């Protein structure tokens, strides 16, 4: 009896060990460990469906998707990468690719993807984003987060304007006219809290669009920082007036949730946000479908705007046991139906050229994205240096300093001088 | 068998002793001792007994050593190294550079002051309101159990969630706080709670008071229940008023519990970044940061070396505080005990 139990226990232990090995039994089936970062329940479900499709096409590959909660995901992935096993394919973001590749945790796919037939289907932005400055491919982007202006069609019309604002100055004019504090109607959903710095930079970039370095959104062609340009001060002048004259006073502390809520519940007439907000606003009960739309990103005085295009994609861990299989998975996710479905359902700017022909992207709130893609000379896509190691330090610094200006403890001039010094010194130190 | 013999004798005294002090191990002990008039006799200490005690303690001690002290020591070495997640290829020793970076950071004095304000301004109302609730719950009335459960409820919610809830409640435009104040006619214009540094500090402290009252209510109520009713009856017969009963019977009886709960709360409030993180994220302009939220921010920037150094500074500060607090409260208690004996 006792020996029987012991044998059983041993057997179970052995079985568990076998299951733990990713190579599995002798039939050659490979199990890939895949980790996602920007997890949300709907997206995980969709990913699992796409994976099931992939597994059907590749019967010898199984994919095990690990979905840590978003706010800890990157740290979890970091720990997994550091331990050197347990990850094959993973989600890499433009903010994580820098440190992770420096620490030699990511696999450079450029050689394996040489001659890949998929390249020609990708948009220029997608090809560009898949290579770092040394032409190494640590991830293939699955989509982009680009800014557009959400606006209230009814309020704009009521205030006597025929069109939504096309540039920052017009936005100030329209938002200020709509603002009516006594009725709790505000013009612009200002971002003063987390992420405040990003929107300030978007305004500055529009004002220096003619001389911006196409490879680095924080630099001018002459090598100096965009914050040193005289136009930057004009940009800030308009931008901070927007806060004083046309935004809720408490928006000093507004981050993503407050901005989106402010627009969705009808309190503010304008909102500058990523396309994922289209779905959220679409569910609003306070404003109906015909009361809002989106317009292209605001331009500067010379009629150009600079699209920051934040991105993320799929990559392979350097310590991965099954690189060829992981590569197959990434190719699958970056092409055809799989890619289109993923970008559509996640409200992302697509990576495939053909997607802009899709009716989905031609109509309603999405139309402004097609407009922007169709006019790359007006809406210039310039990557921001989000992959530098000091990016999160910079984000926190810039957010806090924008708040200092809003609270009247710092002048816009001081802000620009400080930011110029910060970036110039960082670039000089070489890393 | 041997064990029983060893433990047999003191067990008798211990068990009677324990009955009195059960609700709060320290709280009821001293007055009880006074009435007993003598201390329980100490059992003779032998090497064998020492081994037995060590044997009993070993599993817990090993567990704590492996899962608390070892990681702590391992982690603290980061404080003396260049340890930045953005580049782990270089983790050289840098001596006290990380500590210097913390202490020389322009934000350090403000954040230290914020931490003191956060602890004191949260603690005092929590204590007073918690005490009042405990006194009120001590009386018998209908549905007391239900009231107790309702009052203890906040303690079960995660700090981060409380932060997010209060962030919306204190939202200037859509929040319930401004709405109520305006409807009550107390303010004309909405207050920009989280947008103005001082108001934001006030808002997070209000949220923390709401959360922490519960703990004092639970602990003080437990201690109060250890005070025998006949003491109160005697006081009543002697004609003691309510205030006098409170200050000369209730408080002296539960003094040790009070001292310990205050100590615990100071440490916990000090180490309670969750609520602030959910509510203001340390803003606006970093003016609601306390040491521990600041530490998280530094961790997010990837600088584990500096964050570890700050962590050790926090440990040192709390250690110094604990020693002083314990010395001060113990001195008072022993002095009184001596006074009572002589």
Chain segment A44-53, per-residue pLDDT in tens: 999 999 999 9
The answer to whether residues B257 and B223 touch, using CB atoms and an 8 Å cutoff, is yes
B10 has pLDDT over 80: no
Other CB atoms within 10 Å distance of the CB of residue B289: 26
B30 has pLDDT over 60: no
Alpha-helix residue ranges (DSSP H) falling in chain B: 2-21, 29-36, 47-64, 70-76, 97-104, 108-138, 144-152, 159-169, 176-183, 197-224, 229-237, 242-245, 251-253, 255-270, 273-279, 291-300, 304-341
pLDDT of residue A6: 53
A256 and A125 within one domain? no
Specify if A364 maps to a domain. no
The verdict on a CB contact (< 8 Å) between A258 and B171 is yes
A169 and A104 within one domain? no
* Per-residue pLDDT tens digits for B294-306: 999 898 888 899 9
Q: Which residue of B has its CA nearest to A399?
A: B285
How far is CA B320 from each of CA A203, A324, B285, B317, B327, rounded to the nearest angstrom?
Answer: 49, 57, 30, 5, 11
Specify if A184 maps to a domain. yes
Q: How far apart are CA A335 and CA A329, in angstroms?
A: 10
pLDDT band at A348 (very low <50, low <70, confident <90, very high): confident
A179 and A139 within one domain? no
Q: What is the CATH number of the domain that holds A81?
A: 3.40.190.10
Contact list, A396 vs chain B (CB under 8 Å) = 297, 300-301
Specify if A287 maps to a domain. yes
Specify if A421 maps to a domain. yes
pLDDT of residue B43: 67
Q: How far apart are CA B112 and CA B98, in angstroms?
A: 17
Q: Which residue of B has its CA nearest to A264?
A: B174
Structural domain count of chain A: 2
Share of residues in chain B with pLDDT > 90 (%):
46
A77 and A180 within one domain? no
Q: Which residue of A has its CA nearest to B300?
A: A392
Which of A292, A322, A351 marks a domain boundary? Answer: A351
Which of A323, A351, A379 marks a domain boundary? Answer: A351
A152 and A49 within one domain? no
Complete domains list, chain B, with CATH? 2-341 (1.10.3720.10)
* Per-residue pLDDT tens digits for A109-160: 999 999 999 999 998 888 988 988 788 999 999 998 889 999 999 999 999 9
* Per-residue pLDDT tens digits for B129-188: 999 999 988 887 788 788 888 888 888 888 999 999 999 999 998 899 999 999 999 998
A345 and A256 within one domain? no
Specify if A404 maps to a domain. yes
Q: Which of B173, B197, B285 shows the shortest C-beta gap to A250?
A: B173
A102 and A169 within one domain? no
Specify if A4 maps to a domain. no
A376 and A325 within one domain? no
DSSP state of A106: B
Could you give the ipTM of this predicted complex?
A: 0.74
Identify the domain containing residue A34 by its residue range. Answer: 22-144+311-351
Specify if A357 maps to a domain. no
pLDDT of residue A26: 54
Give the mean pLDDT of chain B.
83
Which of A294, A319, A351 marks a domain boundary? Answer: A351
Q: Quick check: B9 contacting A, CB < 8 Å?
A: no
Nearest to A106 by CA among A134, A87, A128: A87
Calculate how close chain B gets to A117, using CA atoms only, in Å: 34
A166 and A95 within one domain? no
A85 has pLDDT over 90: no
A296 and A380 within one domain? yes
Calculate how close chain A gets to B279, using CA atoms only, in Å: 10
A304 and A317 within one domain? no
* Per-residue pLDDT tens digits for B200-225: 999 999 999 999 998 899 889 989 98
Q: Please report the residues numbered 390 through 409 in chain A whose beta carbons come closer than 8 angstroms to any beta carbon of chain B.
A: 390, 392-393, 396, 399-400, 403-404, 406-407, 409
Nearest to A132 by CA among A412, A391, A387: A387
B342 has pLDDT over 60: no
A249 and A195 within one domain? yes
The whole model's pTM is what? 0.79
Specify if A1 maps to a domain. no
Average pLDDT value for residue range A275-297: 90
Average pLDDT value for residue range B280-292: 91
Q: How far apart are CA A135 and CA A131, in angstroms?
A: 5
């Amino acid at each position: 009896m006792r020996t029987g139990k012991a044998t059983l226990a041993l057997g179970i232990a052995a079985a568990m060990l076998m299951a733990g090995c990713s190579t599995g039994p002798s039939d050659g089936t490979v199990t890939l460990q895949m980790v996602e970062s920007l997890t949300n329940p709907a997206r995980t479900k969709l990913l699992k469906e796409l994976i099931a499709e992939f597994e059907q096409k590749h019967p010898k590959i199984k994919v095990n998707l690990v979905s840590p909660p978003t706010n800890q995901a990157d740290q979890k992935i970091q720990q997994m990468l550091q331990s050197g096993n347990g990850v094959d394919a993973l989600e890499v973001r433009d903010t994580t690719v820098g440190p992770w590749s420096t620490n030699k945790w990511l696999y450079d796919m450029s050689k394996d993807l040489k001659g890949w037939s998929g390249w020609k289907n990708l948009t220029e932005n997608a090809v560009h984003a898949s290579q770092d400055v040394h032409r190494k491919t640590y991830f293939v982007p699955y989509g982009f987060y680009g800014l557009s202006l959400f606006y209230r069609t009814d309020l704009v019309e009521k205030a006597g304007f025929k069109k939504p604002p096309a540039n920052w100055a017009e936005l100030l004019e329209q938002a200020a006219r709509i603002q009516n504090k006594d009725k709790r109607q505000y013009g612009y959903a200002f971002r003063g809290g987390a992420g405040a710095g990003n929107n300030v930079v978007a305004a500055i970039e529009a004002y220096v669009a003619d001389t911006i370095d196409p490879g680095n959104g924080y630099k001018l062609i002459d090598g100096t920082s965009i914050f040193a340009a005289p136009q930057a001060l004009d940009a800030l002048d308009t931008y901070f007036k927007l806060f004083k004259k046309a935004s809720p006073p408490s928006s000093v502390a507004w981050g993503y949730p407050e901005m989106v809520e402010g627009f969705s519940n009808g309190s503010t007439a304008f909102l500058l946000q990523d396309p994922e907000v289209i779905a959220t606003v679409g569910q609003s009960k306070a404003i109906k479908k015909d009361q809002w739309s989106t317009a292209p990103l605001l331009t500067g005085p010379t009629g150009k705007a600079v699209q920051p295009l934040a991105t993320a994609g799929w990559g392979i861990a350097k310590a991965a046991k099954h690189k060829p299989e992981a590569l197959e998975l990434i190719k699958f996710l970056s092409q055809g139906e799989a890619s289109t479905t993923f970008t559509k359902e996640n409200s992302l700017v697509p990576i495939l050229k053909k997607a802009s022909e899709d009716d989905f992207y031609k109509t309603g709130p999405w139309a402004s994205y097609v407009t922007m893609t169709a006019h790359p000379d007006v809406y210039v896509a310039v990557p921001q240096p989000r992959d530098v190691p000091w990016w999160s330090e910079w984000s926190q610094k810039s957010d806090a300093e924008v708040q200092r200006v809003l609270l009247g403890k710092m002048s816009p001039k001081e802000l620009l001088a400080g930011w110029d010094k910060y970036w110039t010194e960082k670039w000089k130190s070489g890393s | 068998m041997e064990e029983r013999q060893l433990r047999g004798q003191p067990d008798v005294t211990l068990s009677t002793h324990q009955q009195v002090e059960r609700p709060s191990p320290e709280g009821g002990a001293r007055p009880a001792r006074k009435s007993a008039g003598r201390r329980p006799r100490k059992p003779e200490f032998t090497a064998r007994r020492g081994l037995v005690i060590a044997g009993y303690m070993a599993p817990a001690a090993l567990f704590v050593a492996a899962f608390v002290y070892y990681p702590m020591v391992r982690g603290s070495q980061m404080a003396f190294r260049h340890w930045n997640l953005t580049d782990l290829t270089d983790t050289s020793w840098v001596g006290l550079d990380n500590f210097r970076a913390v202490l020389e950071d322009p934000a350090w004095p403000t954040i230290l002051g914020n931490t003191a304000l956060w602890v004191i301004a949260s603690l005092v109302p929590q204590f007073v309101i918690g005490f009042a609730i405990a006194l009120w719950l001590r009386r018998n009335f209908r549905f007391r159990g239900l009231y107790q459960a309702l009052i203890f409820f906040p303690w079960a919610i995660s700090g981060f969630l409380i932060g997010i809830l209060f962030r919306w409640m204190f939202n200037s435009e859509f929040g319930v706080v401004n709405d109520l104040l305006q409807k009550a006619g107390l303010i004309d214009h909405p207050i920009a709670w989280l947008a103005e540094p001082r108001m934001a500090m006030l808002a997070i402290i209000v949220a923390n008071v709401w959360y922490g009252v519960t703990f004092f209510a639970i602990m003080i109520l437990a201690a109060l229940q250890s005070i025998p009713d006949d003491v109160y009856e005697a006081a009543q017969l002697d004609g003691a008023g309510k205030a006098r009963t409170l200050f000369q019977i209730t408080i002296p009886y539960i003094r040790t519990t009070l001292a310990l709960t205050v100590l615990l709360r100071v440490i916990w409030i000090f180490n309670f970044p969750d609520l602030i993180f959910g509510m203001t994220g340390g803003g606006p302009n970093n003016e609601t940061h306390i040491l521990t939220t600041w530490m998280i921010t530094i961790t997010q920037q990837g600088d584990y070396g500096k964050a570890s150094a700050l962590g050790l500074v926090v440990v040192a500060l709390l250690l110094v505080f604990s020693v002083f607090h314990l010395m001060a409260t113990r001195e008072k208690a022993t002095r009184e005990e001596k006074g009572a004996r002589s």
